[in-house]
């Protein structure tokens, strides 16, 4: 409880220190005070006509002027504000009580409620709220209190859904089980955990519902279907509308009031939502979250071990990455670096491994070569030279020429990397037409040939299939076909077998090896699996915490690995060998 | 696909039946009040009983409903209480006008929302903030306030458009345009606001999909990927908002039509409500529910047609 309390207190503080938050709260509070106090202290009666002040402009006597019956507009507006806010509260309270109670009951006790509630929701959704309210006024007669209570019922599904889904979710979480074991009763579990979780979303929802209630209420009153003898915003609009030609200023006061309150409520809701998202659990940090000083200390302690480079010097270097650093905005104006000082060299036709556990920065390194870092990410230092050309910071034009035709990419998860809305054929043919500048017919026959080559049975039918109609293994073959389709110089394969079944993994690796040999394409293989590396690579770079910690030829790494982390990775693949050693944490952790 | 369509149609009819039964039931729960509302407080108990008999309200509820339903399936919605005419004779010509306004508005709102939402999602930055701000204001400010503003400015101060009235397109296309422009704009405002935020969200989601990166890695330009693949994939989620929009606009049109004196369903809904004309309101409820359910059905079928997984099964 104390934990929940603390977060909600700090949330309230954050909303109130946010400029938009404090502005919206102040406006709403000011109108509430306006509605409470002005009718008490005003010298004017909101309802008594005064023929001599009919349609007067604002003056010292009548601050907002007087309407056609000579009534003081300022006092009437205050009276209307009081009435409208009170009736709108009825809608909100009814909606909360109905929605939260049914949501709690349904979420906590029953699954069958799911169907019933979705049916009721669709029935309610089948009619615009205004039509339902008109129908109710037809039989009940014009009363804003009843109308708003009915509207509250119509709005309750919003709360129901909120509470219901939260309860279903929270119920399955461990801490409720733990609370049950601890012997707490159901009601106390609900009280302590679930209401704590849904409190902030309910506040957001309430501000929204209140603004909708105000809109619909003034609409009904404007139509002349509200309480006839009570001043209200809508009634004022109705009277002012009759005078829109000769005294339009009367329309201004209630309109501005409604607009200001509605906008404030929505801004308040948005601010709470934004602050809630900001106070939510922080994203897991990419590199373990250490201070710069600690990082530097680590770097010094873990000096990278570079074995003598014995690669064929006769082959031309096609990719040279030097001192590469990749960073993301850290949310407070600074840059959080996830890749530090990475050097990487690939010769023509060579297979180079980039190995490390998830979060080690290997995928970020690969994406920066492709110029396709996720939103926000950018190369903050270093250079990437491809076929003699510096490509860091190059424009879209340069990259569009390199990608596909020179450097291509094989992703990890085959299914999500095919566009579900287009056929396999379209997705293979489209890039080929663009990159190779060939006709659709030519590209199609090439694509069929490629599918055949990567081992897809009946390639012609597969061309017409959508991604969901083929298996994950076949999808990965399609993606490999796509990667080699435009005769690239370098293929970047990011965990190409990780998402596949074990039996398919070996086949896909064989295919990659064959294709690589056949076409003499260089391959940068990004993986966490030393088994895959051992199979294919000529040269290996081991990454940890965004740095390369050991690099060397495949023989050196397997026979003479010096870095404790490399040794540990190696040990983890040696079957039947001695028992695994202790986990070697990076120094400084 | 055929069973999918049949299922949805059956579900829609069932829903229509449920809505009609529930609203008939709820309205007749309160119907004891109606004769009193019509006759005023001075009427004697005898006069009220007489009126109830006249209106058929003294019959058992289930008889009344079955009687109404038997007519309704033949589109005969009974006689109005507030005027000497059949409900269907009054409502159907007006429905045509309302449907016309609401359909044009939906179309306008969706087109503008797709443009704004896509631009906001793709370019981000200032444009994104502006679109989000429009969305917030449009969501918060009721459409009828926008209507007042537009009427005061573009019909009264600067008489570009008509403030009141409606001309049939077939009678005079220019006058028709002058009469529908402001109502459509007023009605479209909130629709554009919420729809553009929805489009923005679904385009943003589609932009983050893995296949976007993969297609770009194959050499397709960013624009090409956005216009062909991202928009195609965000069409489904964006489509589903049309249904919601349409319902909101049907409700909003009641107010807008009243403000611009357009002889659609709005003004008749208001007068029938004020005069406790239950058959007229029941007719209105039925027609509205029919339109909404039909619209949702169309949207469902369109999204199914867009989604190869559903289309091919």
**Contact across the interface for A434 and B220, Cβ inside 8 Å:** yes
Closest CB to A404 among B29, B142, B218? B218
- The rounded percent of chain B whose pLDDT value lies above 70 is 99
Using alpha carbons only, give the angle A537, A538, A539 rounded to the nearest 5 degrees.
95
**Chain B CB contacts of A426 below 8 Å:** none
For the ranges A291-300, A344-353, A465-474, A487-496, the lowest mean pLDDT is seen at A291-300
Check residue A465 and give its pLDDT.
92
Check residue A573 and give its pLDDT.
66
The residue assigned the tokens 């009974």 is: B78
The arrangement of strands across the sheet holding A335-347 comes to A335-347, A317-329, A378-386, A389-390
**Residue-wise DSSP of A76-90:** HHHHHHHHHHHHHHH
**Residue-wise DSSP of B211-280:** HHHHHHHTT--HHHIIIIIIHHHHHHHHHHHHHHHHHHHHHHHHHHHHHTT--SHHHHHHHHHHTT-HHH
* DSSP 8-state code for residue A415: G
User: Quick one: pLDDT band at residue A282, thresholds 50, 70, 90?
Assistant: very low
User: Quick one: pLDDT band at residue A405, thresholds 50, 70, 90?
Assistant: confident
**Contact across the interface for B140 and A137, Cβ inside 8 Å:** no
Check residue A265 and give its pLDDT.
92
- The rounded percent of chain A whose pLDDT value lies above 70 is 83
- The rounded percent of chain A whose pLDDT value lies above 90 is 21
User: Quick one: pLDDT band at residue A332, thresholds 50, 70, 90?
Assistant: confident
Check residue A185 and give its pLDDT.
67
- Of A218, A256, A212, residue with least CA distance to A80: A218
Measured between CB atoms, does A153 come within 8 Å of chain B? no
Closest CB to B276 among A119, A126, A139? A139
Average pLDDT score over residue span B121-131: 88
Listed in sequence order, the DSSP H helices in A110-143 are: 113-125, 129-140
**Chain B CB contacts of A450 below 8 Å:** none
Q: How far is CA B273 from CA A223, B34, B268, B281, in A?
A: 10, 11, 8, 7
The Cβ of residue A17 has, within 10 Å, a number of other Cβ atoms equal to 10
Q: How far is CA A576 from CA A128, A532, A557, in A?
A: 70, 18, 20
For the ranges A1-5, B12-16, B96-100, the lowest mean pLDDT is seen at A1-5
User: Quick one: pLDDT band at residue A398, thresholds 50, 70, 90?
Assistant: confident
**Contact across the interface for B254 and A419, Cβ inside 8 Å:** no
For residue range A152-174, what is the model confidence (pLDDT) as tens digits? 998 888 888 888 887 777 666 65
> Which parts of A431-528 are beta strand (E)?
490-494, 522-527
Check residue A579 and give its pLDDT.
46
Exposure string over A128-153, b if 16+ CB within 10 A, otherwise e = bbbbbbbbbbbbbbbbbebbbbbbbb
**Contact across the interface for A263 and B219, Cβ inside 8 Å:** no
Judged against a pLDDT cut of 50, whether residue A580 lies above it is answered with no
Check residue A176 and give its pLDDT.
60
Residue length, chain A? 589
**Contact across the interface for B278 and A265, Cβ inside 8 Å:** no
Closest CB to A127 among B219, B254, B292? B292
C-alpha–C-alpha distance, residues A438 and B281, integer Å: 64
For residue range A20-65, what is the model confidence (pLDDT) as tens digits? 888 899 999 988 888 887 777 766 676 777 666 666 777 767 667 7
Judged against a pLDDT cut of 90, whether residue A93 lies above it is answered with yes
Average pLDDT score over residue span B10-15: 89
- Of A5, A166, A151, A188, residue with least CA distance to A100: A166
Q: Which of B8, B61, B273, B313 best tests the A interface by mutation, with the highest count of A CBs <10 A?
A: B273
Closest CB to A139 among B27, B209, B252? B27
Using alpha carbons only, give the angle A324, A327, A330 rounded to the nearest 5 degrees.
165
- The rounded percent of chain B whose pLDDT value lies above 90 is 21
Check residue A578 and give its pLDDT.
46
Check residue A445 and give its pLDDT.
93
Structural tokens at position A72: 């003081």
C-alpha–C-alpha distance, residues A559 and B99, integer Å: 79
C-alpha–C-alpha distance, residues A337 and A287, integer Å: 8
Contact B77/B91 with Cβ under 8 angstroms? Answer: yes
For residue range A214-231, what is the model confidence (pLDDT) as tens digits? 999 999 999 988 887 788
For residue range A416-446, what is the model confidence (pLDDT) as tens digits? 899 988 999 999 999 999 899 999 999 999 9
Average pLDDT score over residue span A61-90: 81
Contact A336/A283 with Cβ under 8 angstroms? Answer: no
* DSSP 8-state code for residue A586: P
C-alpha–C-alpha distance, residues A277 and A265, integer Å: 18
Average pLDDT score over residue span A206-220: 92
Measured between CB atoms, does B290 come within 8 Å of chain A? no
Q: Which of A119, A121, A127 best tests the B interface by mutation, with the highest count of B CBs <10 A?
A: A127
C-alpha–C-alpha distance, residues B229 and A524, integer Å: 28
Check residue A529 and give its pLDDT.
82
Judged against a pLDDT cut of 90, whether residue A372 lies above it is answered with no
pTM for the structure as a whole: 0.80
Structural tokens at position A86: 């009170």
**Chain B CB contacts of A466 below 8 Å:** 308-309, 312
Check residue A2 and give its pLDDT.
45
pLDDT, chain A, mean? 81
Query: Which of 93-132 (B) contact A at CB < 8 A?
Result: none
User: Quick one: pLDDT band at residue A281, thresholds 50, 70, 90?
Assistant: very low
Check residue A286 and give its pLDDT.
42
**Residue-wise DSSP of B118-167:** HHHHHH-HHHHHHHHHHHHHHHHS-HHHHHHHHHIIIIIIS-SS-SS---
Q: Mutual orientation of helices A195-222 and A233-242 as an angle, nearest 10°?
A: 30
Would you say the C-alpha torsion A365, A369, A372, A375 has a positive or negative sign? positive
**Contact across the interface for A127 and B259, Cβ inside 8 Å:** no
Measured between CB atoms, does A265 come within 8 Å of chain B? yes
For the ranges A57-71, A173-187, A281-295, B212-226, the lowest mean pLDDT is seen at A281-295
Check residue B7 and give its pLDDT.
87
Judged against a pLDDT cut of 70, whether residue B102 lies above it is answered with yes
For residue range A536-570, what is the model confidence (pLDDT) as tens digits? 888 989 998 888 888 888 888 888 878 888 888 88
Closest CB to B15 among A122, A134, A223? A122
A414 torsion bin: left (phi>0), alpha (psi -120 to 50), beta (else): alpha
C-alpha–C-alpha distance, residues A417 and A260, integer Å: 47
For residue range B221-243, what is the model confidence (pLDDT) as tens digits? 888 898 889 988 888 877 877 77
For the ranges A463-472, B76-85, B284-293, the lowest mean pLDDT is seen at B76-85
User: Quick one: pLDDT band at residue A492, thresholds 50, 70, 90?
Assistant: very high
**Chain A CB contacts of B248 below 8 Å:** 128
Contact A220/A130 with Cβ under 8 angstroms? Answer: yes
Check residue A330 and give its pLDDT.
79
A506 torsion bin: left (phi>0), alpha (psi -120 to 50), beta (else): alpha
Average pLDDT score over residue span B104-131: 90
Measured between CB atoms, does A136 come within 8 Å of chain B? yes
Q: Which of A268, A421, A470, A526 best tests the B interface by mutation, with the highest count of B CBs <10 A?
A: A421
**Chain B CB contacts of A469 below 8 Å:** 312
- In this structure, what is the dihedral angle of CA atoms A433, A434, A435, A438, given to the nearest 10 degrees? 30
Check residue A312 and give its pLDDT.
62
A498 or A578, higher pLDDT: A498
Exposure string over A262-286, b if 16+ CB within 10 A, otherwise e = bbbbbbbbbbbbebbeeeeeeeeeb
Q: How far is CA A224 from CA A147, A227, A238, B146, B156, in A?
A: 13, 8, 7, 19, 23
First and final C-alpha spacing in chain B: 6
**Contact across the interface for B281 and A138, Cβ inside 8 Å:** yes
Using alpha carbons only, give the angle A378, B209, A467 rounded to the nearest 5 degrees.
140
Judged against a pLDDT cut of 50, whether residue A577 lies above it is answered with no
Greatest mean pLDDT among A86-95, A104-113, A132-141 lies in: A86-95
The bridge status of strand A305-306 relative to strand A407-410 is unpaired
**Contact across the interface for A434 and B254, Cβ inside 8 Å:** no
- Of A478, A479, A491, residue with least CA distance to A519: A491
Greatest mean pLDDT among A86-90, A231-235, A356-360, B246-250 lies in: A86-90
User: Quick one: pLDDT band at residue A242, thresholds 50, 70, 90?
Assistant: confident
C-alpha–C-alpha distance, residues A386 and A494, integer Å: 19
Average pLDDT score over residue span A266-277: 85
For the ranges A160-169, B141-150, B291-300, the lowest mean pLDDT is seen at A160-169
Check residue A190 and give its pLDDT.
65
Judged against a pLDDT cut of 70, whether residue A340 lies above it is answered with yes
The residue assigned the tokens 């009277």 is: A239
- Of B247, B291, B285, residue with least CA distance to B268: B285
User: Quick one: pLDDT band at residue A583, thresholds 50, 70, 90?
Assistant: low
Check residue B276 and give its pLDDT.
85
Contact A1/A197 with Cβ under 8 angstroms? Answer: no
Write the CB contacts of A145 (distance below 8 Å, at least 6 apart in sequence): A87, A90
């Amino acid at each position: 409880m104390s934990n929940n309390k603390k977060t909600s207190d700090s949330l309230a503080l954050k909303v109130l220190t946010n400029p938009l938050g404090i502005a919206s709260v102040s406006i709403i509070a000011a109108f509430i005070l306006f509605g409470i106090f002005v009718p008490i202290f005003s010298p004017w009666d909101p309802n008594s006509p005064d023929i001599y002040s009919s349609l007067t402009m604002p003056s010292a006597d009548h601050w907002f002027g007087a309407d056609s019956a000579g009534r003081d507009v300022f006092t009437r507006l205050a009276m209307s504000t009081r009435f409208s806010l009170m009736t709108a509260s009825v809608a909100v309270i009814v909606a909360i009580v109905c929605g939260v109670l049914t949501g709690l009951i349904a979420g906590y006790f029953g699954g069958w409620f799911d169907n019933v509630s979705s049916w009721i929701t669709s029935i309610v959704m089948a009619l615009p709220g205004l039509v339902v309210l008109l129908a109710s006024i037809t039989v009940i007669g014009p009363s804003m209190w009843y109308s708003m209570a009915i509207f509250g019922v119509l709005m309750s599904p919003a709360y129901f859904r909120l509470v219901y889904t939260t309860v279903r979710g929270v119920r399955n979480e461990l801490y409720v089980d733990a609370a049950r074991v601890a012997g707490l009763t159901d009601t106390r579990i609900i009280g302590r955990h679930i209401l704590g979780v849904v409190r902030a979303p309910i506040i957001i929802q309430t501000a929204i519902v209140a603004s909708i209630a105000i809109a619909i209420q003034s609409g009904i009153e404007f139509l002349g279907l509200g309480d006839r003898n009570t001043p209200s915003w809508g009634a004022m609009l109705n009277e002012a509308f009759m005078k829109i030609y000769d005294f339009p200023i009367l329309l201004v006061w209630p309109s501005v009031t409604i607009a200001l309150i509605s906008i404030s409520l929505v801004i308040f809701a948005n601010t709470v939502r934004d602050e809630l998202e900001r106070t939510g659990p922080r994203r897991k940090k990419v590199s373990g979250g250490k201070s710069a000083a600690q990082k530097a200390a680590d770097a010094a302690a873990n000096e990278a071990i570079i074995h003598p480079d014995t690669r064929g010097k006769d082959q031309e270097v096609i990719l040279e990455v030097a001192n590469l650093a990749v960073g993301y905005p850290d949310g407070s104006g600074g840059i959080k670096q996830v890749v530090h000082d990475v050097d990487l060299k690939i010769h023509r036709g060579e297979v180079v491994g980039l190995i490390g556990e998830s979060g080690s920065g290997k995928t970020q390194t690969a994406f920066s070569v492709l110029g396709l870092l996720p939103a926000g990410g950018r190369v903050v230092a270093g250079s990437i030279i491809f076929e003699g050309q510096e490509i860091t910071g190059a424009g879209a034009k340069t990259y569009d020429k390199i990608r596909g035709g020179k450097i291509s990419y094989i992703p990890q998860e085959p299914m999500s990397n095919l566009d579900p809305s287009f056929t396999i054929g379209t997705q293979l043919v489209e890039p080929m037409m663009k990159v190779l500048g060939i006709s659709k017919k030519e590209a199609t026959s090439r694509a069929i040939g490629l599918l055949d080559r990567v081992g897809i049975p009946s390639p012609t039918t597969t061309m017409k299939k959508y991604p969901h109609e083929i298996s994950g293994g076949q999808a990965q073959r399609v993606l490999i076909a796509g990667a080699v389709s435009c005769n690239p110089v370098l293929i970047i394969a990011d965990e190409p077998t990780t998402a596949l079944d074990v039996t398919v993994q070996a086949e896909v690796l064989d295919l990659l090896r064959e294709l690589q040999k056949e076409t003499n394409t260089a391959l940068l293989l990004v993986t966490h699996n030393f088994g895959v590396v051992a199979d294919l690579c000529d040269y290996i770079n081991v990454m940890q915490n965004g740095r390369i910690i050991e690099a060397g030829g495949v023989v050196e790494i397997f026979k003479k690995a010096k870095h404790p982390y490399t040794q540990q990775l190696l040990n983890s693949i040696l079957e039947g060998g001695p028992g695994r050693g202790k986990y070697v944490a990076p120094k400084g952790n | 696909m055929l069973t999918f369509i049949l299922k949805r149609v059956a579900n829609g009819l069932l829903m229509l039946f449920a809505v009609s039964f529930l609203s008939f039931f709820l309205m007749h729960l309160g119907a004891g009040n109606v004769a009193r509302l019509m006759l005023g407080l001075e009427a004697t108990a005898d006069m009220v009983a007489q009126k109830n008999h006249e209106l058929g309200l003294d019959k058992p509820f289930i008889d009344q409903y079955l009687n109404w339903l038997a007519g309704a399936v033949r589109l005969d919605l009974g006689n109005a209480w507030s005027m000497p005419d059949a409900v269907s004779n009054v409502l159907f010509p007006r429905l045509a006008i309302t449907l016309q306004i609401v359909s044009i508005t939906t179309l306008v709102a969706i087109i503008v929302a797709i443009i704004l939402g896509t631009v906001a999602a793709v370019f981000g930055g200032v444009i994104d903030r502006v679109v989000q701000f429009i969305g917030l204001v449009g969501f918060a400010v009721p459409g009828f306030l926008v209507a007042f503003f537009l009427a005061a400015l573009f019909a009264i101060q600067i008489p570009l458009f008509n403030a009141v009235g409606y001309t049939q397109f077939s009678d005079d296309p220019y006058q028709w345009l002058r009469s529908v422009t402001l109502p459509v704009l007023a009605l479209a405002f909130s629709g554009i606001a919420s729809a553009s935020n929805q489009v923005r969200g679904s385009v943003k989601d589609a932009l983050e999909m893995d296949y976007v990166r993969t297609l770009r890695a194959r050499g397709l330009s960013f624009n090409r990927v956005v216009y062909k693949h991202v928009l195609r994939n965000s069409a489904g989620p964006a489509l589903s908002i049309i249904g919601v929009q349409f319902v909101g606009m049907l409700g909003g049109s009641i107010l807008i039509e009243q403000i611009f004196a357009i002889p659609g369903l709005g003004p008749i809904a208001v007068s029938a409500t004020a005069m406790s004309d239950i058959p007229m309101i029941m007719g209105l409820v039925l027609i509205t529910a029919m339109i909404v359910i039909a619209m949702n059905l169309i949207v469902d079928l369109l999204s199914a047609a867009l989604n190869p997984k559903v289309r091919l099964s």
